[in-house]
Amino acid sequence: MAKELKELTTRQENYSQWYQDLVIKAELAENSAVRGCMVIKPYGYAIWEKMQRALDDMFKETGHSNAYFPLLIPKSFMSKEAAHVEGFAKECAVVTHYRLKNSPDGAGVVVDPAARLEEELIIRPTSETIIWNTYRNWIQSYRDLPILINQWANVMRWEMRTRLFLRTAEFLWQEGHTAHATQAEAEEETLRMLGVYVRFAEEFMALPVIRGVKTASERFAGALDTYCIEAMMQDGKALQAGTSHFLGQNFGRAFDVTFIDREGKTDYAWATSWGVSSRLIGAVIMAHSDDNGLVLPPRLAPIQVVIIPIYKSAEQLALISERANLIASRLRAMGISVKFDDADNRKPGWKFAEYELKGVPVRLAIGGRDMENGTVEVMRRDLLAKETLPQEGIELIIQQLLDEIQKNIYRKAQDFRATRIADVDTYDDFKAKIDEGFFVMAHWDGSAETEERIKNETKATIRCIPLEGDRSPGLCMITGRPSERRVLFARSY
């Protein structure tokens, strides 16, 4: 076993350290010289590219186009929507000057005080304000609606406590911003995009999610309703994996975006926004990986199949390589990404450990005896199970195996969640289950006070009011007041 592998903290020992170790050792990302900002390394970025491609296709299938709006936002824009400013204008990077000059003492450069901006600009923490300020000029009539736009961008929120992928000052994301002629259309869009996120999480990330609506206190600043998907990590904590906001006419009003409707009356445009970010890379890692390293769902794995030759001579290597390259080219023709690793400075054992660490779903090993017998050793990463199979027809078997692994990882996450979710009826049971790392379904009286008390006493928050599942009414576990239905509580990332 390789040195790096041995050094990975186990989940049991310290889940948080295991995650940190894994991100670093699998070469996904690292901290940068700039506080709170990460470097996304090629292997981590390749996962993001697969996510982008899949999501982008789904956005386009649902009628959206991409566009690009400025990175910088005039400070005054942030104050235009009353709730928005409270949520976003505070911890943010502020640009105050536009020039540096040589330091008078000759050592480096200093800010040129003469180049002070009249109005400070902030680096976008989210783009509702600059986008709705732009939409004002694009929208006159109902015929200009809907506007269905998405943006792939970097954003910045000055976080004090950061963690690679999960919470960083700068992160990559997509933000959809749509404008509609009616409330009904905007609400429909909000739920449509929530559905896209559910499909992406389940089909690509192999991550079962609970869809629901946030309570008032957890809403996006400026939204009337925030919908979300919540996933369970292996420590039982929840991770919010996507949000879709119904913004009503708040931004239409704040930025004076009016239109003439079919009846000739003037109204404010209705808005939605929705986003997922590079934190989803963190979610995929945390949900599926094990003490040997990453376990990546095949549909997001940068390398789906690795082939490793085991040889004693250059002659034998040549023979194995010919066969390996044939298999690789057939797999590639099927759209499967393959790496043939014939590097001569690493032993097979090192390579085995390395690709386990990197979460490559399927490993093929071909040795001298395999060449004699026409066989290949196939290892699936999710179960760490090996099997020797005929080389003949191996490509179709691998294709099916990749599908099976994708499904199995999903099933495993679903089964795990099933063992960690419970209905509770008393606050004592609630506290016990939360401490055990459960998702808890409990009755709540709907008040912000009760929600706040539970949060302060247990660190659990209402992740969402689920859209599906048991809808029976009951009594709040704390106050005994009526509750419309159970809501989902958990500690969260």
Binding site for a copy of itself (CB under 8 A): 30, 32-34, 37-42, 45-46, 48-49, 65-79, 85, 89-101, 107-109, 111, 120-123, 130, 133-134, 137, 143, 149, 153-154, 156, 158, 170, 172, 345
- Rounded to the nearest angstrom, the gap between the alpha carbon of residue 14 and the centroid of all alpha carbons in its chain is 22
Report helix, strand or coil for 455.
helix
Q: Nearest distance from residue 76's CB to a copy of itself, in Å? A: 6
CB-nearer residue toward a copy of itself: 84 or 214: 84
Q: Report in angstroms how near the CB of residue 151 gets to a copy of itself at its nearest.
A: 9
Element (H, E) at 212: strand 209-213
Query: Would you say 76 or 373 has its CB closer to a copy of itself?
Result: 76
Sign of CA dihedral 373, 378, 383, 384: positive
Q: What are phi and psi of 28, to 5 degrees?
A: -90, -45
Nearest distance, CB of residue 229 and a copy of itself, angstroms: 24
Nearer to a copy of itself by Cβ, of 48 and 439: the residue is 48
Q: Which is nearer to a copy of itself, 149 or 228 (CB)?
A: 149
Q: Which is nearer to a copy of itself, 58 or 122 (CB)?
A: 122
Q: How far is CA 448 from CA 215, 218, 455, 483, in A?
A: 8, 10, 10, 13
Q: 46 or 421, CB closer to a copy of itself?
A: 46
Cβ closest to a copy of itself, residue 168 vs residue 483 = 168
Distance spanning both ends of the chain, measured CA to CA: 32
Q: How far is CA 190 from the centre of its chain?
A: 18
Q: How far is the CB of 484 from a copy of itself (least distance, A)?
A: 36
Region for residue 264 given its phi and psi (left: phi exceeds 0; alpha: psi -120 to 50; beta: otherwise):
left
| Residue 85: CB minimum distance to a copy of itself, A | 6
Answer yes or no: are the C-beta atoms of 165 and 285 closer than 8 Å: yes
Contact 18, 9 (CB under 8 A): yes
Rounded least distance, CB 170 to a copy of itself, Å: 5
Q: For residue 41, what is the DSSP state?
A: -
Q: To the nearest whole angstrom, how small is the minimum distance from the Cβ of residue 32 to a copy of itself?
A: 5
Strand partners, 101: 110
Cis ω for the linkage preceding 146 (within 30 of 0): yes
